[in-house]
Amino acid sequence: MTFSQDHKDLVLTLRIIKRDPLAASGTIIAIAFLAVAAAVTIFGNSVAPYDPTAIHLSLAFQPPSFQHLFGTDNLGRDVFSRAIEATPVDAEIAFMIVGIASLFGLLFGSISGFLGGYVDEVFMRVTDLFLAFPSLVLAIAVAVALGPGVTNVILANLVVWWPVYARLSRAGALTLKETQYVEAARIAGLSKFAVLLEHIIPNNISPILVYGTLDLGNAILYASVLSYLGLGAQPPQSEWGRMVFDGQVYLTSAWWISIIPGLIILGIALGFNLLGDALRDVFDPRYRK
Amino acid sequence: MTQELLKLENVVKYFPAKGLLFYSETGTLEKGSVLQAVDGVTFALEPHRTLGVVGESGCGKTTLARTILHLIKPTKGKIYFENVDLTTLSYGQLAKIRPNMQMVFQDPYSSLDPRKRARDIIAEPLRVMTKDKHRVNERVKEVMKQVGLEDEQLGRFPNEFSGGQRQRIGIARAIASKPKLVVLDEPTSAVDASTQAQILNLLRQIQEEYKMSYLLISHNIDVVRHMGDRIAVMYLGKFVEIGPTEDVINSPKHPYTAALVLSVPKPDPRARAEMIEIKGETPSPINPPAGCRYHPRCPFATNICSQEEPKLQQVETSLVSCHYPIKY
Amino acid sequence: MSDPILSINDLTIAFETSEGKYSALNGVNLKINPSEIIGLVGESGCGKSSLALAVIGLLPVPPAKVLHGSITFKGDNLLKLAENGIEKVRGTGISMVFQEPLTSLNPLFTVGEQISEAITVRLQREGSAHTKSSVEAEGIAWLRKVGIPDPQGAFHRYPHELSGGMRQRVMIAMALSASPTLMIADEPTSALDVTTQAQILKLVRKLVEEVNASVLFISHDLAVVAQIADRVAVMYTGMIVEEGPVVEVFEKPLHGYTQALLGSYPGRESSREPLKVIPGQVPNLTRIPLGCPFHPRCVRAQDKCKTVRPLLKEVWGHNVACALY
């Protein structure tokens, strides 16, 4: 049996998760999140205890209880069920944002760092341009311009997300460029393009992976904020950010309608952060000793 | 008249260093303008011969190696490989010659791609030459055996090998394409003494079998002495002395060579000789001293040494660049 | 014959790792006398750095665990002191010089500030009065002593503004200005050019005599140790396998490992014969062979070597851990 570096990394990750309660909690939260998202996607709303769209005005404003874990909202809908229904929305948005941005950033940054010179200058100025804007503001601006809807939320966030990955990849590529195995590849006669594909990009993936995991939490936050502002998922589709907004007016009387979805957002984001932290330790050379 | 495999004529490599910081002779930090890494190197290397290049940090030997292999383009000068001037070749033409010139690197931990298996690492130069998978696999197996590793280890990743074994993989990669010239860049500096012995023996064996030429770069005189027919001593971008190994080491004619040879500690506690006093530290190649580059540190320097650069002249069996070469 | 200043007795330290118990030190016995330079030689992984760190109290405990043995320095048990903080250990008169001065000198403070700190610690230990200017004057004097060309200027510079050789001289100045009884130098010249190394070795020999300190000089390079040490100890898999006066050990090596190590050195043969190679590999420290740890690789190994773990004993003028004597 041969053990590639990836295999070793995985084993080490699992070990860290087992030992560190924070990392373990993060992993559990992340897995729960993904599991629910997958379940709802496959089985639809039947996963939830109640029909999230069913309106029962007579049951409105019930506080959390055994029957309604998170209470009911102003229209008598079960908040717990609505929260479950909302899970895949944010999951999709977050993964799409981080996935596409990281892939693009990886290629962009690797090419920039490896080729250097003129290309690097131009690429980096472009990156700087995007980074000059406060990211949330820019995302909101683009989202407003594009209009409401999940796809537009994804596009708007992609615009602000990719530069960080580009920067990260560029830094990685700059280091990798100087390694002796890259020199060996050049001496062997590989073209720059081949070196990029064979050596630079594959070895540049781990920082992206780590940052991406941490980032999923942020992506969920941004997606929720945009939805809170009315730019994301539209009713009747439930979405956590939207639920926070809708429940705002009842904050003093029926706090659970707004606060609980807010806590969920926080919790999931935190979970991914903790998991990302654990991953980061795996790749920290000092930790491995 | 033996045909020379490799010939360098006045090869120069300067790097722009505007605003670059460097350490001066007094060991303090200053600003510079041009890094004269290699400043006029001329030599020839015959087939099946070894030339050792010895020098300390900042002497330019690493840049020299990379310039010969055309990873860097020389600023001036000519590099002939089998009588073809490499500096005039196009990218495509150069690609055809590459299988004939390969390199073994210093650091076994960063000279192998950690994500690739041993067989893919070794096959890399071969895959550039041919698409015939069968031939490539055969050759990889052959070479693996030659460097003393097992077939079954071919599928493993670098992190599963020891430093010495990784170095062998690096050697296998270098000789896979049956090159005529192999540049060995500090091949044993990063391994233990006992591993070093194994590697050096292996390199000698391979050289005998393939009849290839070696350009052995090292800061370790003992290693070069064990391997080389001729030695060149490099200081601040120039060869200060070049000649047959035993002559250069036993009767060094350039004061720097003498200081270097005497500075090398010997594993013999009775031989605690006082060395020729060498002052200060190596100046930076960003701001080399005028005249003879060694003069600020040379105990024999006179006025001429600070004004006029000495030319390489024949002194007995060696070429020496010094106004007052040591006579024996 | 005065008492040794440092006495390491049967020191056994292991690390718990995911792959098992990593035996860094396995019953190390070593004594250092006043005013002597003792060279500790061994290849990477033999435990020499762990030993240095254990003496100076920098070994992280846990994950390291002291299973057995003691380190006695001028009557104090260093292992106990280390639990109360390294300052106490260093306060007893041990200094250390590391291999890479860039990472062991604090980049945020000037050279002057750092050497002043070392001097002040010593003065406080001695209970002497001192002023800022007297400390500075002494600091500059030390920088001059270690051969730094512009000591005044260097005093006010930051470590990164000096070259490698200069930084190493600063480290030596700091180590010796603390007036140590024992200076531990862990591969102090391995990162330096050979001419700079020769200068530093000469400097260390001279200064150590002046200051009357003992030195534990650790190196993987036999030749370097031959140049500087009065006595030599050879280390393999966490134990001392041979130890004695330097000329004795180099000219009449008794242990199979010492012999093999000396034989594999290229400089000794000016002929082009293939170098003698030590067969096999250094064992993984989680699986040290039973009996004599070197027996699988020893050309003279006999049956008893597989079961008996030899202890250091005196043979023909120096100490060796081999069952064949």
Q: What is the DSSP string of B127-171?
A: HHH---HHHHHHHHHHHHHHTT--GGGGG--GGGS-HHHHHHHHH
Q: What is the pLDDT of residue A289?
A: 46
Tell me if A188 and B102 make a contact (CB, 8 A cut-off): yes
Place of tokens 């659970």: A256
Tell me if A181 and B106 make a contact (CB, 8 A cut-off): no
Residues of chain A with Cβ-Cβ distance to B106 below 8 Å are 180
* Beta strands B213-218 and B50-54, pairing class: parallel
**Residue of B25, B28, B191, B236 for testing the chain C interface, max C β-carbons within 10 Å:** B28
Alpha carbon of C234: minimum distance to chain B alpha carbons (Å):
14
Q: Greater confidence, C45 or B119?
A: B119
Angle (CA) A271 A274 A279, round 5°: 125
Residues of chain A with Cβ-Cβ distance to B124 below 8 Å are 184-185, 188, 190
Q: What is the pLDDT of residue C85?
A: 62
Q: What range does the domain containing A116 cover?
A: 5-43+79-253+265-283
Q: What is the pLDDT of residue A286?
A: 56
Q: What is the mean pLDDT of residues C274-283?
A: 79
Q: Does A202 touch chain B (CB under 8 A)?
A: yes
Kindly report the CATH number assigned to the domain that includes residue A212.
1.10.3720.10
Alpha carbon of B202: minimum distance to chain A alpha carbons (Å):
20
Q: What is the pLDDT of residue A1?
A: 45
| Buried-exposed string B80-109: b where 16+ CB fall within 10 A, e elsewhere | bbeeeebbebeeeebbebbbbbbbbbbbbe
Q: What is the pLDDT of residue A2?
A: 53
pLDDT digits (tens, 9 = 90+) for C143-162: 998 888 888 888 998 888 88
Angle (CA) C264 C275 C239, round 5°: 20
- Confidence tier at C21 by pLDDT (50, 70, 90): confident
Q: Which residues contact C228 (CB under 8 A, 6 or more apart)?
A: C37, C39, C201, C204, C205, C217
Helix, coil or strand: residue B216 = strand
When CB atoms are compared, the residue of B28, B192, B197 closest to C275 is: B197
pTM: 0.82
| Residue among B204, B325, B206, B316 at smallest CA distance from B254 | B325
Q: Give whole-number Cα distances, B323 to A264, B289, B319, C220, in Å.
A: 82, 16, 12, 39
Number of domain units in chain A: 1
When CB atoms are compared, the residue of A4, A179, A190 closest to B128 is: A190
Q: What is the pLDDT of residue C246?
A: 92
pLDDT digits (tens, 9 = 90+) for C179-201: 888 999 998 888 888 888 888 88
Alpha carbon of B150: minimum distance to chain A alpha carbons (Å):
14
Contact yes or no for A276/A16 (Cβ under 8 A): no
Minimal-distance CA residue of chain B relative to A203: B115
Rounded Cα gap, residues B310 and B117, in angstroms: 51
Question: A190 in a domain, yes or no?
Answer: yes
When CB atoms are compared, the residue of B69, B107, B155 closest to A2 is: B155
When CB atoms are compared, the residue of B71, B129, B159 closest to A5 is: B159
| Residue among B126, B125, B167 at smallest CA distance from B148 | B167
Counted residue by residue, chain B has a size of 328
Find chains touching chain B: ≥3 CB pairs under 8 Å: A, C
Rounded Cα gap, residues B317 and C323, in angstroms: 52
Single-letter residue type at B79: I
Asked whether residue B117 carries a pLDDT value surpassing 80, the answer given is yes
pLDDT digits (tens, 9 = 90+) for B37-61: 888 899 999 999 999 999 988 788 9
Provide the ipTM: 0.84
Radius of gyration of chain C (CA): 21
Contact yes or no for B192/C222 (Cβ under 8 A): no
Rounded Cα gap, residues B279 and C267, in angstroms: 26
Whether omega for the bond prior to residue A163 falls within 30 degrees of 0, making it cis, is no
pLDDT digits (tens, 9 = 90+) for C119-141: 888 888 778 888 888 999 999 99
Q: What is the mean pLDDT of residues C6-15?
A: 89
Asked whether residue B181 carries a pLDDT value surpassing 80, the answer given is yes
Rounded Cα gap, residues B70 and B57, in angstroms: 21
Name the class of domain C6-93+182-276+310-320. Answer: alpha beta
Rounded Cα gap, residues C297 and C113, in angstroms: 50
Alpha carbon of B145: minimum distance to chain A alpha carbons (Å):
19
Number of other CB atoms surrounding residue C188 within 10 Å: 28
Whether omega for the bond prior to residue C62 falls within 30 degrees of 0, making it cis, is yes
Tell me if B105 and A184 make a contact (CB, 8 A cut-off): yes
Q: What is the pLDDT of residue A240?
A: 87
Alpha carbon of C260: minimum distance to chain B alpha carbons (Å):
8
Q: Which segment of A122-136, B165-179, B218-232, C280-294 scores lowest on mean pLDDT?
A: C280-294
Q: Does B106 touch chain A (CB under 8 A)?
A: yes
Q: Which segment of A281-285, B22-26, C53-57 scores lowest on mean pLDDT?
A: B22-26
When CB atoms are compared, the residue of A3, A179, A198 closest to B160 is: A3
* Beta strands C231-236 and C37-41, pairing class: parallel
Residue A144: burial class (beta carbons within 10 Å; 0-12, 13-18, 19+)? middle
Q: What is the pLDDT of residue A120?
A: 92
Question: A57 in a domain, yes or no?
Answer: no
Question: A51 in a domain, yes or no?
Answer: no
State the first-to-last Cα distance of chain B, in angstroms, to the nearest integer: 31
Minimal-distance CA residue of chain B relative to C39: B269
Strands across the sheet containing C313-315 = C94-97, C182-186, C214-219, C37-41, C231-236, C239-245, C318-320, C313-315
Residues of chain A with Cβ-Cβ distance to B95 below 8 Å are 189
CB pairs under 8 A between B and C: 139
Contact yes or no for A226/A143 (Cβ under 8 A): yes
Q: Where do the DSSP E strands lie in chain B? A: 6-16, 21-23, 29-31, 34-45, 50-54, 76-81, 84-85, 101-104, 181-185, 213-218, 230-235, 238-244, 312-315, 318-321
Alpha carbon of B100: minimum distance to chain A alpha carbons (Å):
10
Asked whether residue C306 carries a pLDDT value surpassing 80, the answer given is yes
Number of domain units in chain B: 1
Radius of gyration of chain A (CA): 22
Residues of chain A with pLDDT under 50: 1, 289
Q: Which segment of B282-286, C261-265, C269-273, C293-297 scores lowest on mean pLDDT?
A: C269-273
When CB atoms are compared, the residue of A184, A190, A203 closest to B115 is: A203
Helix, coil or strand: residue B320 = strand
Q: Give whole-number Cα distances, A125 to A163, A166, A177, A208, in Å.
A: 11, 12, 21, 21
Tell me if C246 and B269 make a contact (CB, 8 A cut-off): yes
Question: B327 in a domain, yes or no?
Answer: no
Q: What range does the domain containing B95 cover?
A: 6-321
| Residue among B145, B220, B203, B108 at smallest CA distance from C277 | B203
Rounded Cα gap, residues C134 and B67, in angstroms: 53
When CB atoms are compared, the residue of B98, B105, B156 closest to A189 is: B98
Q: Does B98 touch chain A (CB under 8 A)?
A: yes
Residues of chain B with Cβ-Cβ distance to C153 below 8 Å are 28
Asked whether residue C283 carries a pLDDT value surpassing 70, the answer given is yes
Phi-psi sector, A147: left (phi>0), alpha (psi -120 to 50), beta: left
Q: What is the pLDDT of residue B102?
A: 94
Kindly report the CATH number assigned to the domain that includes residue B168.
3.40.50.300
Asked whether residue B24 carries a pLDDT value surpassing 80, the answer given is no
When CB atoms are compared, the residue of C161, C270, C277 closest to B197 is: C277
Contact yes or no for C242/C320 (Cβ under 8 A): yes
Domain ranges across chain C? 6-93+182-276+310-320, 103-179
Tell me if B125 and A188 make a contact (CB, 8 A cut-off): yes
Tell me if B200 and C275 make a contact (CB, 8 A cut-off): yes
Q: What is the pLDDT of residue C270?
A: 55
| Residue among B319, B237, B216 at smallest CA distance from B282 | B237
For residue A34, the number of C-alpha atoms closer than 13 Å in the C-beta half-sphere is: 12
Q: Does A190 touch chain B (CB under 8 A)?
A: yes
Question: B203 in a domain, yes or no?
Answer: yes
- Confidence tier at B275 by pLDDT (50, 70, 90): low
Helix, coil or strand: residue B9 = strand
Minimal-distance CA residue of chain A relative to B93: A189
Number of other CB atoms surrounding residue C51 within 10 Å: 29
Q: Give whole-number Cα distances, B258 to A81, B252, C297, in Å.
A: 86, 5, 39
